[in-house]
């Protein structure tokens, strides 16, 4: 693998990226033993009211040039005691209590405001910031319509926004997801399929939906260097997605050989710790080229 990589001249770009990444201050990892928070029902609601939630941004880069062409918005809880908590600690609780609808609205608004604030710095026509929408949020299309309308009222081109829906969620409630997607597309917002490839045999269903991009699941990317089978699967997924008119984004890219392989397979966009961890808004904006 990676035969022509140096001809493409990106090894040096990647080295620079890797160096700057290593120099970054370490982020709090809530999976470390020193922080195993006990979250009591009601805490999350209070924390949201107290403004303890943040939207972090992880860059998505063009595979060919490493140019930042958007981001994925990822929710974080700036916990006064435990530090920065990732969604696995609080999203299930939010879904159970229904708070996810309000929080989802807030995330979408924050992302739209960011797009507005940096609109003069957006030069690449394929720029977008992706927002995750969980299956529970599917159940409330009226709410989503109100949100999309609010985002539109900022007078921003709606293609600056992308909605990520996971493959399993879409396939589990196919009809509801198809309705939701039609609604999203009415607003000009694009749709990406998250964690793509896990249900490989279901691609014939997905091919019938208005999907702009698929995000190759990080589990495949993580095995690329050691597994010929995974290299073949990823290569096939990319080709098939392109043939069906969908863009490909690889998630969880952590090493240069992974990035090189994905580039050679013509995967258009890459996202992962190798290019940048999720960071607060100010840090993300600072990475963008000045006007
Ligand atoms: P996801 O949408 O699949 O997001 C990708 C996850 O992979 C993120 O985890 C990200 O931090 C992590 N990641 C990115 N690059 C790498 C890498 O190179 N290596 C490794 N090991 N991991 C990487 P995170 O932020 O913990 O989010 C977990 C999940 O929570 C997300 O999975 C998404 O489904 C959900 N989520 C995040 N924000 C929101 C939100 O605002 N609303 C909803 N409904 N769900 C959200
Ligand atoms: Mg996602
Ligand atoms: Mg994912």
Looking at residue 291, its pLDDT comes to 65
Q: Which ligand is nearest to the CA of 30?
A: 1
Instruction: Say if residue 115's pLDDT is above 80.
Output: yes
Ligand 1 atom closest to the CA of 215, numbered from 1: 3
* Range 251-267 average pLDDT: 98
Ligand 1 atom closest to the CA of 274, numbered from 1: 18
Instruction: State residue 203 phi and psi, 5-degree precision.
Output: -60, -30
Instruction: Say if residue 21's pLDDT is above 50.
Output: no
Whether ligand 1 lies within 6 angstroms of the CB of 86 is answered as yes
Give residue 270's Cα distance to chain centre.
Answer: 10
Instruction: Say if residue 266's pLDDT is above 50.
Output: yes
Task: Determine the 3-state secondary structure of 277 from DSSP.
Answer: coil
Looking at residue 13, its pLDDT comes to 44
How many structural domains comprise the chain? 1
* Range 40-55 average pLDDT: 93
Closest C-alpha to ligand 1, atom 28: 87
Model pLDDT for residues 165-200, shown as the tens digit of each residue: 999 889 888 898 998 999 899 888 999 999 998 776
Closest C-alpha to ligand 1, atom 19: 252
Looking at residue 38, its pLDDT comes to 73
Ligand 1 atom closest to the CA of 254, numbered from 1: 18
Residue closest to 211 by CA, chosen among 270, 160, 152, 164 = 164
Whether ligand 1 lies within 6 angstroms of the CB of 74 is answered as yes
Q: Which domain holds residue 198?
A: 10-286
Looking at residue 137, its pLDDT comes to 87
Best of 251, 255, 270 to mutate for ligand 1, by most ligand atoms within 8 A of CB?
Answer: 251
Looking at residue 69, its pLDDT comes to 97
Ligand 2 centre from 165 Cα, in Å? 7
Model pLDDT for residues 52-90, shown as the tens digit of each residue: 999 999 999 999 999 999 999 999 999 998 899 999 999
Looking at residue 10, its pLDDT comes to 43
Ligand 2 centre from 4 Cα, in Å? 31
The mean predicted confidence, pLDDT, of the chain is 86
Ligand 1 atom closest to the CA of 100, numbered from 1: 44
The larger pLDDT score, comparing residue 268 to residue 19, is at: 268
Residue at 2 is within a domain:
no
As a whole-number percent, the residues of the chain with pLDDT over 70 amount to 86
Residue at 4 is within a domain:
no
Looking at residue 201, its pLDDT comes to 62
pLDDT band at residue 219 under the 50/70/90 scheme: very high
Tokens standing for residue 289: 């080229």
Whether ligand 1 lies within 6 angstroms of the CB of 259 is answered as no
CATH number for the domain spanning 189: value is 3.20.20.450
Residue at 242 is within a domain:
yes
Ligand 2 centre from 166 Cα, in Å? 8
Residue at 76 is within a domain:
yes
Looking at residue 42, its pLDDT comes to 86
How far apart (Å, rounded) are the C-alpha atoms in residues 184 and 257? 36
Model pLDDT for residues 118-145, shown as the tens digit of each residue: 998 898 999 999 999 998 887 787 878 8
Instruction: Say if residue 32's pLDDT is above 80.
Output: no
The larger pLDDT score, comparing residue 67 to residue 159, is at: 67
Residue at 173 is within a domain:
yes
Residue at 5 is within a domain:
no
Residues 6+ apart with CB under 8 A from 79: 37, 47, 52, 85
Instruction: Answer yes or no: are the C-beta atoms of 254 and 274 closer than 8 Å.
Output: yes
Instruction: Answer yes or no: are the C-beta atoms of 246 and 213 closer than 8 Å.
Output: yes
Looking at residue 64, its pLDDT comes to 97
Whether ligand 1 lies within 6 angstroms of the CB of 230 is answered as no
Closest C-alpha to ligand 1, atom 30: 87
Residue at 3 is within a domain:
no
Whether ligand 1 lies within 6 angstroms of the CB of 278 is answered as yes
The larger pLDDT score, comparing residue 180 to residue 204, is at: 180
Instruction: Say if residue 275's pLDDT is above 60.
Output: yes
Buried/exposed code over 55-75 (b: 16+ C-beta within 10 A; e: otherwise): bbbbbbbbbeebebbbbbbbb
CB atoms within 5 A of ion ligand 3 belong to: 194-195, 251
């Amino acid at each position: 693998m990676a035969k022509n990589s140096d001809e493409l001249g990106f090894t040096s770009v990647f080295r620079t990226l890797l160096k700057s990444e290593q120099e970054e201050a370490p982020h709090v990892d809530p999976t470390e033993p020193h922080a195993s928070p006990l979250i009591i029902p009601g805490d999350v609601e209070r924390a949201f009211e107290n403004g303890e939630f943040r939207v972090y941004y992880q860059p998505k880069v063009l595979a060919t040039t490493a140019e930042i062409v958007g981001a994925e918005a990822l929710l974080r809880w700036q916990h006064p005691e435990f530090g920065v908590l990732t969604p696995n600690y609080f999203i299930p609780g939010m879904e159970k209590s229904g708070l996810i609808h309000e929080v989802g609205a807030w995330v979408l608004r924050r992302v739209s405001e960011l797009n507005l604030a940096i609109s003069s710095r957006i030069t690449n026509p394929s720029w977008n910031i992706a927002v995750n929408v969980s299956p529970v949020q599917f159940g409330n299309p009226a709410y989503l319509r109100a949100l999309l309308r609010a985002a539109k009222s900022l007078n921003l081109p709606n293609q600056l926004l992308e909605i990520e829906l996971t493959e399993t969620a879409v396939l589990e409630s196919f009809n509801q997801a198809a309705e939701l997607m039609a609604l999203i597309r009415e607003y000009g917002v694009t749709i990406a399929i998250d964690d793509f490839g896990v249900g490989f045999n279901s691609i014939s269903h997905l091919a019938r939906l208005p999907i702009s991009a698929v995000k190759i699941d990080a589990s495949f990317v993580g095995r690329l260097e050691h597994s010929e089978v995974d290299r073949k699967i990823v290569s096939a997924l990319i080709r098939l997605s392109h043939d069906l008119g969908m863009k490909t984004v690889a998630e969880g890219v952590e090493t240069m050989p992974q990035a090189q392989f994905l580039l050679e397979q013509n995967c258009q966009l890459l996202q992962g710790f190798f290019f940048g961890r999720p960071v607060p808004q100010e840090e993300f904006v600072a990475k963008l080229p000045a006007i």
